[in-house]
């Protein structure tokens, strides 16, 4: 069965990606780890792999043009396979995202009844919020495929204290489809690693922080782990809904 390749979410601020170049042409054989295209985001240029073995049946975005995150950019399948039905359902991928708010609202409606018998919880002191220090930037687990919910850190190519450039491969991440490099997006010093090699992180979870050498990010990290910053970061809260779109 043919598989659609969508524009992945390669950074937490990315809304679209520009196809710099296609490394394969329609009719070419591709493997799961073949770099199909070079994509320029708001932060860096990265390779997008095919995720599946097969034949490149369709290219939806020409080189030099941009595609929105989760937009179909290619289709891979068996040679000669009919893929037109996949293109007819181009917008169907938004259904899951559209359904998410309804589920959230249903949970909110049910919440008062569950919380009513627990007045003691309301008396608990709130954990302190802490902003990210100036000049520091969090690196989050990117959405590397349309079915990805988490990524496993196979290895770190940098350690805390190392200098990094925007296009340096910080780590290798294994998804449900392939293993890819995650770049740093920012220039500076690697201040924090949030997920050890061998462990997995959810999409949009902070896996590292890059910034000026000597910057103390411990208060921010503690607030993130405790959930104290969640109320102050609506953008991060909204991100998973976009990322879970298929």
What CATH number does residue 77 fall under? 2.40.50.100
Reading the chain (246 residues) residue by residue, the pLDDT tens digits are 788 998 988 877 888 999 999 999 999 999 888 889 999 988 778 888 877 889 999 999 999 999 999 899 999 999 999 988 888 765 444 433 333 333 344 344 444 444 555 555 554 455 578 889 998 999 989 888 778 889 999 999 999 999 998 888 899 999 887 788 888 778 899 999 999 999 999 998 999 999 999 999 999 998 888 888 775 444 433 333 333 333
**Would 227 be classed as within a structural domain?**
yes
**Would 84 be classed as within a structural domain?**
yes
Contact status, residue 127 vs residue 223, Cβ threshold 8 Å: yes
Q: What's the DSSP call for residue 217?
A: -
Q: How many CB atoms lie within 10 A of CB 37?
A: 24
- Given 92, 126, 148, the domain boundary residue is 92
**Would 117 be classed as within a structural domain?**
no
Residue 70 φ/ψ region, left for φ over 0, alpha for ψ in the -120 to 50 degree band, beta for the rest: left
**Would 107 be classed as within a structural domain?**
no
- How much is the pLDDT for 79? 92
Beta carbons within 8 Å of 36's beta carbon, 6+ residues apart: 5, 22, 23, 24, 30, 47, 48, 49, 50, 56, 74
22 three-class SS: strand
**Would 142 be classed as within a structural domain?**
yes
Domain count across the chain: 2
- How much is the pLDDT for 151? 92
- Residues 148, 68: one domain? no
Burial of 28 per CB tally in 10 Å (0-12, 13-18, 19+): middle
Query: Per DSSP, what are the bridge partners of residue 40?
Result: 18, 45
- How much is the pLDDT for 110? 44
- Given 57, 92, 127, the domain boundary residue is 92
- How much is the pLDDT for 52? 85
**Would 21 be classed as within a structural domain?**
yes
**Would 157 be classed as within a structural domain?**
yes
- Given 71, 92, 113, the domain boundary residue is 92
Q: Which of 199, 208, 204 is nearest to 154 (CA)?
A: 199
- How much is the pLDDT for 13? 80
- Residues 151, 207: one domain? yes
Domain that holds residue 30: 3-92
**Would 143 be classed as within a structural domain?**
yes
């Amino acid at each position: 069965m043919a598989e659609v390749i969508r524009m992945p979410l390669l950074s937490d601020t990315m809304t679209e990606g520009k196809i710099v170049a296609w490394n394969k042409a329609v009719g070419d054989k591709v493997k799961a780890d073949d770099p199909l295209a070079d994509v320029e985001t708001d932060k860096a240029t990265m390779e997008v792999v095919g995720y599946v073995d097969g034949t490149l049946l369709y290219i939806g975005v020409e080189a030099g043009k941009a595609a929105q995150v989760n937009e179909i950019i290619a289709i891979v399948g068996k040679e000669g396979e009919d893929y037109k039905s996949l293109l007819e359902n181009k917008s169907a991928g938004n259904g899951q995202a559209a359904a998410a708010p309804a589920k959230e609202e249903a949970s909110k409606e049910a919440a008062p009844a569950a919380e009513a018998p627990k007045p003691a919880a309301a008396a608990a002191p709130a954990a302190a919020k802490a902003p990210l220090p100036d000049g520091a930037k969090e690196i989050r687990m990117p959405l590397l495929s349309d079915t990805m919910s988490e990524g496993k850190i196979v290895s770190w190519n940098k350690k805390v204290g190392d200098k990094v450039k925007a296009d340096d491969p910080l780590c290798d991440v294994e998804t449900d489809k392939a293993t890819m490099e995650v770049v740093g997006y920012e220039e500076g010093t690697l201040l924090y690693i949030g997920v050890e090699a061998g462990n997995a992180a959810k999409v949009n979870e902070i896996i590292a922080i890059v910034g000026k050498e000597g910057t103390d990010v411990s208060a921010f990290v503690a607030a993130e782990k405790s959930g104290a910053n969640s109320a102050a970061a609506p953008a991060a809260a909204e991100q998973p809904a976009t990322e879970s779109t298929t």
